[in-house]
Amino acid sequence: MRHIISILVENKFGVLARIAGMFSGRGFNIETLNVGPMMDGERSRITATIIGDSGALDQAIKQLGKLINVIEVTEFTSAQAVERELVMVKVQAEANKRSEIVQICDIFRAKIIDVGNDSMNVEMTGNANKVTAFLNLIQPYGIEELARTGSVALKRG
Amino acid sequence: MKSEAAIKFPLQDEVGPDTRGADVLVQALEREGVDVVFAYPGGASMELHQALTRSKKIRTILPRFEQGGGFMAHGYARATGRASVCMATSGPGATNLVTCIADAFMDSIPMIAITGQVYQQFIGKAAFQETDFFGMTLPIVKHSYLVLKKEDLPRIVKEAFHIATSGRPGPVVIDIPKDVQQAIWQPTFPATIDLPGYKVDKPIANDDRLLPVLDAICDAKRPVLYIGGGIISAEAHEDLRLFAEATGLPVASTLMGLGGFDSEHPQSLYWFGMHGTVAGNWAVCDSDLLICAGARFDDRITGKVDKFAPDAKIIHIDIDASEHNKNKRVDHAVHSDVKHALSRLNALIKETGFTKPDLREWYSIIDGWKKEHPFSYEESEHILQQEAIEVLYQESKGQALITTGVGQHQMWAAQFYRFREPRTYISSLGLGTMGFGLPAALGAKVARPDKLVVDIDGDGSFLMNVQELATAKIEKIDVKVLLLNNQHLGMVVQWEDLMYESVRGQTILSDPDNIGGPDNPSGIYPDFVKIAEGFGIKSRRVFKRSELREAIREMIDHDGSYLLDVIVPYTEHVLPMIKQGFSAKDILIK
């Protein structure tokens, strides 16, 4: 099962290595990982999505909590959280294909951020399902490069 | 009117005069009450050693190998419960400490490992004697620091000691680049520290979590109390005794918990697990209520996990919530400092009018097992390992502090030396590091000069840190080594006998064409008496049972360190034994 874990940490040397090592040392594969500083600059929020059974997840959360630089660990299911990911795609787009691609982008509320002679750079934001659906539709045109931020999430309400 | 000060001043940070970084470190250590450091110098740490020569409070002991220094620190910490300090230079000096740090992590021992690091300008450049020690030790530390800003040094030392000793104890690494050691500035020694991610360092269970424990005891017919190293590190042995006596529960210990409950107490099942008592193993297996306090359901305790206490309601009291349900599902988890939990349970027993359950039937079964299957061995014409330990127990009146290596002798030491007080059996139990015994004995003796300290060792383990005989001699640390010399790696030999048709896969330590032993004195290799002589340590070899007692007496009475080389057969097996992956019911008795 896919779990989203939100980890509030002290913005200190090595903290990301400790967290990554905690997962790898227990055989978890991190699906996505995102790090960004808080307003105060002294703390960061790390959002990780991992696949694992609930017993293993419980253990991972407790082990995260033991790390000295970890202030708070929250786990959400998709229903409890608002989840977003940003993707940027460089898609092959010769003149005769451009309008089709633009249509798809419109449907997904994606933005064209750069256009070249035979390619376009597109930016799209959404949850994991929307990102997958969008990429599936774009793929046939030929994806040259792809960059994803990984999920970030906040609790609802 | 009393003239006591009514105003409480908040603690003030202290600012010192211009001081060199190495001296700042030493002053910070002194402020933590450090009185001894086990340290081996090198290019990236000699600045620290120079500062140590200027300290009037800290004794610096030179081991002959960094790992020896690490295990001395380990022995010191386990003998006292206080954080201990080992130190090494960068690169190979630091990597030689890795085993000690892993060992302290597994056995939850408060140890501060300080390493020198190359100048910051050389970090990441593959400089001479550079390793990423911070990165290398990440999975085996409770916490670690690489000091990148010199001003942080006093705060880091204060935090390190707090983290190492509070909550569930563990090792902390401080890696200090040479430029920080050499910098001069006005250090600020903070009065307080703030660790936002480490607030609940001493969790306290409330009564709602504790009262069900008493209810469960009232309903139980076959309860057992299973205790571990947490009892020792929490200094909860007295609370444990009161709780055991108030409830009447039989008490089975792990090896980490040895000495946490008096082995001669009528409720004691002594220790259980792979080579523990039959009564302890069977009582836990047949229990209908198992209360685990400060232990972690290690595989050497449980055997096959689903056959471990299969019919028991399991209650687990532990300071570390990540231990709950980690190896074994439990019915009721209590997240608490075990000393608080036990002392509060004792108070609740008095407040609630708790009545002891009637356990006469249960004790009649348990006492039958105890009587029928004590630790025992068949006498031989030769000195046996078990007999040597028994005689040591008698001649030292059970008052010695024992350290061990790893293997058969480690198990026999726990079986035949009866431990009645905490911090008297010091052994590498989680990691199982051979070579632990001699340096740990040296560290323990430095911490407890009043105690007779004996390293019960095997010839394989002893050779792994034999160089520390030099430390014993030069630093005038009086330790005794009872060397049970069977010329083999006895525990592996035992497994070969049981599982590999006695095929010897590199388990013979003397010349395989002329294997030494009680029947072949000329084959004995190496000559440990001559080795000891070379180090200036008094030594003697014994073969005959008739000489054993007198030789042990001589060892104890000798003023200074002493190596007693006891030649024993390799054919003895440690029994009882629960083979790996089996359960208590499959225990081998003969």
Let me know whether A142 and A96 are in one domain.
Answer: yes
Q: How far is B264 from chain A (nearest CA, A)?
A: 37
State which of A76, A103, A134 marks the end of a domain: A76
Specify which residues B143 forms β-bridges with. B172
Are the Cβ atoms of B139 and A67 closer than 8 angstroms?
no
Let me know whether A86 and A140 are in one domain.
Answer: yes
The whole-number pLDDT of residue B1 equals 46
B350 burial (CB, 10 Å; 0-12 / 13-18 / 19+) is exposed
Residues 6+ apart with CB under 8 A from B248: B267, B356, B357, B359
From chain A, the residues in CB contact with B135 under 8 A are 14, 17
Helices B338-352 and B237-247 sit at what angle, rounded to 10 degrees? 30
Strand, coil or helix: what is A50? strand
The whole-number pLDDT of residue B6 equals 63
This prediction has a pTM of: 0.95
The two three-digit tokens of residue B16, written as one number: 């010192």
Are the Cβ atoms of A21 and B139 closer than 8 angstroms?
yes
The two three-digit tokens of residue B523, written as one number: 């084959």
Are the Cβ atoms of B325 and A58 closer than 8 angstroms?
yes
Let me know whether A108 and A145 are in one domain.
Answer: yes
Q: How many CA atoms lie within 13 A of B135 on its CB side?
A: 9
| pLDDT tens track, chain B, 590 positions | 455 556 677 789 999 999 999 999 999 999 999 999 999 999 999 999 999 999 999 999 999 999 999 999 999 999 999 999 999 999 999 999 999 999 999 999 999 999 999 999 999 999 999 999 999 999 999 999 999 999 999 999 999 999 999 999 999 999 999 999 999 999 999 999 999 999 766 889 999 999 999 999 999 999 999 999 999 999 999 999 999 999 999 999 999 999 999 999 999 999 999 999 999 999 999 999 999 999 999 999 999 999 999 999 999 999 999 999 999 999 999 999 999 999 999 999 999 989 999 999 999 999 999 999 999 999 999 999 999 999 999 999 999 999 999 999 999 999 999 999 999 999 999 999 999 999 999 999 999 999 999 999 999 999 999 999 999 999 999 999 999 999 999 999 999 999 999 999 999 999 999 999 999 999 999 999 999 999 999 999 999 999 999 999 999 999 999 999 999 999 999 999 999 999 999 999 98
User: Amino acid identity of B189?
Assistant: F
The beta-carbon neighbor of A69 closest among B197, B322, B324 is: B197
Active-site residue, from B66, B159, B468, B572: B66
Residues of chain A short of pLDDT 70, as ranges, are none
The beta-carbon neighbor of A17 closest among B135, B321, B325 is: B135
Number of A/B CB contacts below 8 angstroms equals: 40
The whole-number pLDDT of residue B240 equals 98
The whole-number pLDDT of residue B135 equals 96
Helices B545-557 and B385-395 sit at what angle, rounded to 10 degrees? 40
Residue B10 Cα distances to B4, B7, B191, B195, B196, angstroms: 16, 9, 9, 19, 20
What's the full length of chain A, in residues? Answer: 157
Residue B93 Cα distances to B43, B65, B88, B115, angstroms: 10, 9, 5, 8
The whole-number pLDDT of residue B5 equals 55
The range of the structural domain enclosing residue A69 comes to 2-76
Let me know whether A28 and A43 are in one domain.
Answer: yes
State which of A76, A110, A139 marks the end of a domain: A76
Let me know whether A91 and A63 are in one domain.
Answer: no
> Three-state SS string across B490-530, please?
HHHHHHHHHHCCCCCCCCECCCCCCCCECCEHHHCCCCHHH
Neighbours of B372 (CB within 10 A): 10
Are the Cβ atoms of B163 and A13 closer than 8 angstroms?
no
pLDDT tens-place string over residues A75-93? 887 778 899 999 999 999 9
From chain B, the residues in CB contact with A14 under 8 A are 134-135, 138, 144, 146
Let me know whether A65 and A110 are in one domain.
Answer: no
Does B122 qualify as catalytic in the annotation?
A: no
State which of A35, A58, A76 marks the end of a domain: A76
Helices B408-416 and B490-499 sit at what angle, rounded to 10 degrees? 100
The two three-digit tokens of residue B45, written as one number: 């740490």
- Which CATH number covers residue A107? 3.30.70.1150
Q: Are B279 and B248 in contact (CB under 8 A)?
A: no
Prediction ipTM score: 0.90
Whether B143 contacts chain A with CB within 8 A: yes
Q: Are B518 and B527 in contact (CB under 8 A)?
A: no
Let me know whether A126 and A72 are in one domain.
Answer: no
Let me know whether A127 and A72 are in one domain.
Answer: no
Q: How far is B196 from chain A (nearest CA, A)?
A: 6
Are the Cβ atoms of A71 and B196 closer than 8 angstroms?
yes
The whole-number pLDDT of residue A56 equals 80
- Which CATH number covers residue A60? 3.30.70.260
The number of domains in chain A is 2
CA distance B149 to B153: 7
Structural domains in chain B, sorted by start: 15-184 (3.40.50.970), 207-372 (3.40.50.1220), 385-567 (3.40.50.970)
